[in-house]
Structure 1
Amino acid sequence: MLGYEVRTAAELFGQLFSFVLDQKESDEGRDEQERAQSLHDQLMAQLAEDASISDNFDTIISGIASVIPYDGAVGWVNGEFESIGHTPSKEEFLGLVSFLNTTAASRIYHTDSVVKAYPAAAGFVDRAAGMLVLPVSRAPRDYIVLFRRELAKSVTWAGNPDKPVVSGPNGDRLTPRKSFEAWQQIVRNTSAPWQPAEVRAAEALRLTLLEVILRMSDATLRERAKAQEHQELLIAELNHRVRNILSLIGGLVEQSGSEARSISEFTHVVGGRIHALSRAHDLITRQQWEPASARELIRIEVEAYLGANAEKVKIQGPDVHLRPKAFTAVSLVVHELLTNSAKYGALSKTNGVVQIGFARLSDGALSISWLETGGPPIQSPPVRRGFGSTIIERSIPYELGGRAEIRFEVTGVSADFEIPPAHVDGFSDALHPETGNKMDERKQASLSGHALVLEDNLIIAMDAEDMLRSLGATEVFVASNVKEALDFIESETLQFALLDVNLGSETSEPVAEQLHAQGISFAFATGYGDSIDLAKRYSSAPVVKKPYDIDSIKAALPN
């Protein structure tokens, strides 16, 4: 029997050992918390506000390694698979995900033997025997999974549980010496166990990742709100512009009707004005609604109106870039001046010439001069003042705050216009000599056979049909969708086709492909300009910009 002194010393030793052990555990717990906090601060500093877990998987996993040892890791976020080290393949992991989805969505799941919980893991147990699962969302279920490789270990049991019963001298009875001999077993399909400290660190890390996701969600919501606000502004601006355009077109139709003497004249006048606006709008949209060349604006207008006689209009002076608001007013003024000159002025005579001059004023404003020579002499200013004259005299002063002065001299009409600096973006340094515009003559092409119009808008299709007939087509077939157009191509002999690019839920690409395969000439019609993908793929096919007229279709016909 131990004496009192020995017992007292053993008791004191036990108390001291317990104190030291408790202190050691406290120190380890504090170190564990510090490492977890350090990892939290590190990740929060490294991950941007709009970062995603999948985009920063390497950063997250490398940080975890300083806290939780592992042999491999998988990130499964938004259906995307990322892996590092020894892990199951993507196909193997997909089956494991189905199992993980049955576990608690907000708890760490860990096991040192995946096979016991998920038997199909036997196929990858050599790479991933144990796992520690961090759920980082609820729906859809996203995970970061740490894996440990198999660690075969020897376990000593008090006896072999599978040992058969052996009869002894006393029958089927246990004997102390033989029945409880030590028995060793090699345990496989297991990994090193996940220690409680590692599980606690994983829980702290999961909360950190959730914080990252919440921060990312907040940033996404803010961006979405900004995008929604921007979209609403764009819709409002588009609505405003569409209403302005409709009001402008309505005003043109109403005012033009008062000066036209016949339906054909009314159609010609209104069509010319609308196409002048269209050409101006196309030029500034081609520049992404940025300032564009005034010289180019006049060149396009003159070419569209005069064709082969475009050299009769000469432009001199520096080029200037006008802001978008000025384009509508200037395009209509130039169109009306050209129209009047072609009817009554210099452009109505063979030797008539129009000189247009650009000059920069001292305050940065643009001065535009118009001078007609070689036309019929003017005996007196016109008594009748129509809508066209109103556009020439009042558009620039009223809309741009500029100045307009028209003079009817014996030698011809002359005019001076001033565009305020607010509508002028800048002048070019080089002066352009007084030479005629170099413009291609219009093609003298015509149709003689059957034509096809593919257009999903009935009114536009009817208009195109009339234009093609007037250009010589003996028959024009109209289709509103790809199937109808392909049927016409199969059943009829076509010389030419006009294809609207966008047809609601489909495009005219299959029709273009069939026409190209059969060697049938065609042109694209679109309101998107000539930068469409189909035009790039079929570079030999002209692009007719909407709203088109008979001249633009004529220019697209084959020679």
Structure 2
Amino acid sequence: MSTLSYDRSKVDLTNCDREPIHIPGSIQPHGAMIVINGEGLVSFVSENIDRFLGETNRDYLGAELADVVGSTLAHDIANAVARAGSGHIAGVVLKATVGGGQNVADITAHRYEGRTFLEFEQPASVDDTEVALHLTQSLVRRVDVYKEFDPLFNGVARLLRAMLGYDRVMVYRFLHNGAGRVIAEAREPSLNSFFGQHFPVSDIPAQARKLYVKNWVRVIGDASFVPVPLIPNISDGEPPVDLSHAHLRSVSPIHCEYLRNMGVAASMSISIVVDGELWGLIACHHNTPKWLSIPMRVATELFAQYFSLHVAAIEHREQKSAAVATRSRLDAIIAGVNPNDPVEITLQTRLREFSSLIASDGAGLWSRGQWWAYGVAPSQTAVPRLMETVERKAGRYIWETQDLQAETGDLGEYGTRVAGLLAIPISVSSPDFLIFFRSEEAHQIEWAGEPAKNEEVTEAGRRLTPRGSFNTWREDVRHRSLPWTNADMVVADAIRGYVRDVMLSHNDATEEQREKNENQRKLLNSELNHRVKNILALVKSIATQTGANAESVDDYARSFEGRLRALSYAHDQSFSGTEGGELRGLIDAEAGMHRFSKMPDRIKIVGGPIGLTERAFGVFALLLHEMMTNAAKYGSLSVPSGRLDISWTAADNGDCRLDWVESGGPEVRPPTRRGFGSNLIEKTVAHDLGGTVDIDFAREGLRAQIVVPSHHLRAVADGRHDPEEALAALDRPLDGLRVLLVEDQSLIAMDTEELLKSLGADAIAVAPSVDTALELISEQELECAVLDLNLGGSTSEKVARELDRRDIPYVFATGYRDGISIPNGFSDIPVVRKPVSEQALAAAIIEAIRGRQSASMRQGDG
């Protein structure tokens, strides 16, 4: 091993960066190629095509594919391309008979840039199609158990080496500066380890990284191969043959030299792509030439896509957890803030607490041209120049550097005490920043060989040759801090969003905001004037109609006062800022005057919290007053033994149905005339709300059914969500529900989660195991759950019992078609069968919620 402190000012540009590796004009020799143009004619073939087609010196150019491989195979290839869909995805034809029946080939075919590419390869000596299928299944099932990065990467390295037979498998992650680091390795014992070592960014040029994003799997069967050219040569003006998506695409000779210097005879690279970016690679190396058959490559490609999704899921989960934890800590930091204090005071007095959110040695606040600092920070005289750099580099985005000396050119101020910086813009209207600082962290980086390339002068110009040794080199790093990690950036983003919210809530109103406030004031005055006129008109109408039907002055006064009181209650609600009110509160207020202390239960009210719009609330205030008054004067409430039952439920279409049932009162006789009260009861719901009122003057007691359309219903005013209200009042049956989904199969979990979202669920917590589910139940406020009954080697029975204990409704999901799988004691729980449909899932959850509510009401009655 050697130790290196090298001069970074040396040449570090490579001719690799300029090499057009996607148009090499040749292929690897273990296969052959035919290129078909847009007219369906052969335009290029590889020089070794006779190896498969068996006709020496035949001129294939300009021929139709059917004339070259036969009409049957041409038809099969066309179908394979069609099945693969549009774009560059390859279709596959296995064990095709070619060369007049003398040869057998595995063929892949894909379209790209107006051409169709056919790649011929020798099939494996043993049929490995079934092996490839089992390989994919086994890899996916085994990898799925890993929920954290370290065991995941170590596990996948061991699994791929065991199943694919390479001498070394490395998991390689790209760092913030483009260099890579080996984070997991499985190898043949005689090989030296690369674990923990770094590879410079120049090892994988920019155009190679683009190809790794396009191609999930890249195989080099023999690093010493002799390329097979495509013929004929490209004519002047003709676009080159772009082999970006060809498995057989030839390899840069510089890269082959790199592999040979590394002692590698064959390699395979598996891309790890997260959110469309190259996150890392799985590099497989072998000491002797090695090829993978097409079925095995397809299996590996499918695994690569799944593995990338798995990595993304873990990363996103970790980022979400970090963001949630940060916001929780920020809540604690900002708690007790005086809203009248200037925002700069609020933040600068808490710089110490802010600096603890991200591993740092100090923090600073730049706001409105003023500077406050805590801990390690630049000198006051250096701040103006520093902020010029920060504003230029960051703008509206988070900016970080571990080498502040290089960024500012100030060798005296930075490099030891202050070496790294993370700047977070915290204002949308001015260049204000919260900045974290790190001191120098002198350390060593281990490189797989000397990262500086040797310069070689050739006839083509300067050429940087790949390094010839991969023995460990150690670089002494000075004047730089430890790098800012992805986790640091997630926390920084959470801080940015949170502090911006705080600043917006604290900032004084700008001229534009004051203008908006003035416009709002005028609008409110206009609305108030409009409402007052409407109220006066309504009072006038009530007075006129009440007087026309009154039998005496006292009767007029009582009726008019009662109706005004109901109107006043509705009016108070409309100006309370709630834009309506809750049905139960309205009924309770009106019923309170008719409950006697000796008979508190003579009026029974049953129903979940349902809100009414402002228009519906006003109508109901008058309607309920009339009905209560009539019941007290003529109906069941006119005698001590009488009872009144009021209940409401959700209809299937989302409307609210209210039932009014009187009993135990005087015998009921239909009215001989219709007064103002009767007209108000029967007509206002239909006229103002588009609903219905059905009244039955039964002898034993009056009965009424009132139906309010769903668009006049809304969420309850106190903000607390009720599942029954959501089912009745809103278009989406599960709107706003907080749901726990317990499912051990990730793909089924994703599908079910999407179904729940489409049904309106607001927050969905997904748990793959019993332990995770119990943890989520203890941490979160849940309103219902969907439980996969069979979780691998266990069941979700323990989760169900905990939900019962907490009185949370739930449904079972199972793939079994009978009731055998349902545990004893759970026969009354709704069950949905897999695959789950949207309608079945919604119906089951609604049934569970209503069943739980009914049980609660029965317990309350008892």
Q: TM-score, normalised by structure 2?
A: 0.25
Task: Write 1 or 2 for the structure with the bigger share of helix.
Answer: 1
Identify the structure with bigger relative contact order (alpha carbons < 8 Å, sequence gap 6+). Answer: 1
Larger Rg: 1
Q: TM-score, normalised by structure 1?
A: 0.37
